[in-house]
Structure 1
Amino acid sequence: MAATSTSMFIVLYFVVGGFVVCNLLSNRCNADAEVDALIDFKNQLQDPQNAMENWDPNLVNACTFYNIICDGDNHVTTVNLPLNDLSGPLSPRIADLPNLQYLYLYGNSLTGSLPPSLGNLNNLIALRLFNNKLSGEIPSSLGQLSKLNFLDLSNNQLSGPVPRDGVLSKFGFDSFKGNPDLCGDVVNKGC
């Protein structure tokens, strides 16, 4: 009987220990993925004001990066880089931040199109990309952002119709041409 109890204890020890290790590794892997995503984001851009100078790919998580805010579980919730004279394309890897709620990149010189992968940011509440040089059409994937309450894409070089998919229909935007005044708050219906 004692041998059976000892065997059961050993098995239970390894099972519980395995769960703890898996959980720790999972958080570590998620943190590494977030660091990788932000480093790719950084590497796509010119940063003359060094707003991302301490972004080190060797860090365990991104919570110590300048202009990054994390939640209690060390997941990135805010990228706050407005008015930093950043230029270059917006990396699609930004969508590898699954807990991102606030993306503030306004007042820079970002170019290229909006990555359709932005539609994968299921927790995004506010997307502020106004006063950049973004071009192309607004991807319909943004309509999948069910938690989105504030969107400002004004003063860019976007063209084409505003997608009427999902959450974008709540904003009440019409089609636009050239340099649209495209901003809206689901609650207040304006900026």
Structure 2
Amino acid sequence: MEAPFFSLMLLLLLVSSSPSAALLSAKGVNTEVQALIVIKNLLKDPHGLLKSWDQNSGDPCSWAMITCSPDFLVTGLEAPSQHLSGLLAPTIGNLTNLETVLLQNNNITGPIPTEIGRLANLKTVYLSRNKFYGEIPNSVGLRYLRLNNNILSGPFPSTSANLDLSYNNLSGPIQGSLATRYNVVGNPLICDANREQGCYGTAPMPMFH
């Protein structure tokens, strides 16, 4: 009986020492899987894009529209132009290794979850051309943030990211030191239609299709 017991203990040691082991809940469920399933359940997916997202799976890295690191940690949620609607779940904040969110050109509505602001590794967020409303959460570590063509209102977020906030309903004010990083054309409370040419700055941004 000693050999099987030793083999079992060795297996448990290897599993517990892997990077993804820290993602297991007290019941042995992958917390990234849990977070993504809630995201799936709040989205409307008319073409079955997310059908590979299985709540009984222990590994989301094989799922459609998910990118992972070599350590099998979720780093990207990328589903642009997929006719998704519904809401973006706050459990996105539980994907602590997330670096990229590309959900542009869909019909997702509701507020942008404030939990996005606590994702320290998040660098790129594209939520443009959806139906998000409410205020923009602060996201400290972001490099690129595209929220153009939504229904967002309120003040600008506290971030040094390159921002495209055009065609919303934001009210400012714009910090002078960061104005060249903002594109705010199409916000009627900020840009008078007759002087839009001079009320926004631009900065290079990568394009994702």
TM normalised by structure 2 equals: 0.70
Partner of residue 75, structure 1: 73
Cα gap change, 1:133 to 1:184, in 2 (>3 Å):
farther
Partner of residue 153, structure 2: 159
For residue 66 of structure 1, the aligned residue among 39, 64, 67 is: 64
Partner of residue 106, structure 1: 104
For residue 149 of structure 1, the aligned residue among 143, 151, 156 is: 143
Task: Report if aligned partners of 1:94, 1:118 keep a CA contact under 8 Å in 2.
Answer: yes
Task: Report if aligned partners of 2:131, 2:151 keep a CA contact under 8 Å in 1.
Answer: yes
Q: How many angstroms does 1:19 deviate by?
A: 5.9
Partner of residue 43, structure 2: 45
The percentage of aligned residue pairs carrying the same residue is 34
Cα gap change, 1:35 to 1:110, in 2 (>3 Å):
same
**Counterpart amino acid of residue 181 in structure 2:** G
Measure the CA separation in 1 of the matches of 2:84 and 2:46: 7
Q: How many angstroms does 1:57 deviate by?
A: 0.6
Bigger RCO (CA 8 Å, 6+ sep): 1
**Counterpart amino acid of residue 83 in structure 2:** D
Measure the CA separation in 1 of the matches of 2:149 and 2:37: 27
Cα gap change, 1:34 to 1:166, in 2 (>3 Å):
same
Q: Is there any run of 5+ residues in structure 2 with no aligned partner, and where? A: 1-9, 162-174, 192-199
Q: Is there any run of 5+ residues in structure 1 with no aligned partner, and where? A: 1-15
For residue 86 of structure 2, the aligned residue among 85, 88, 101 is: 88
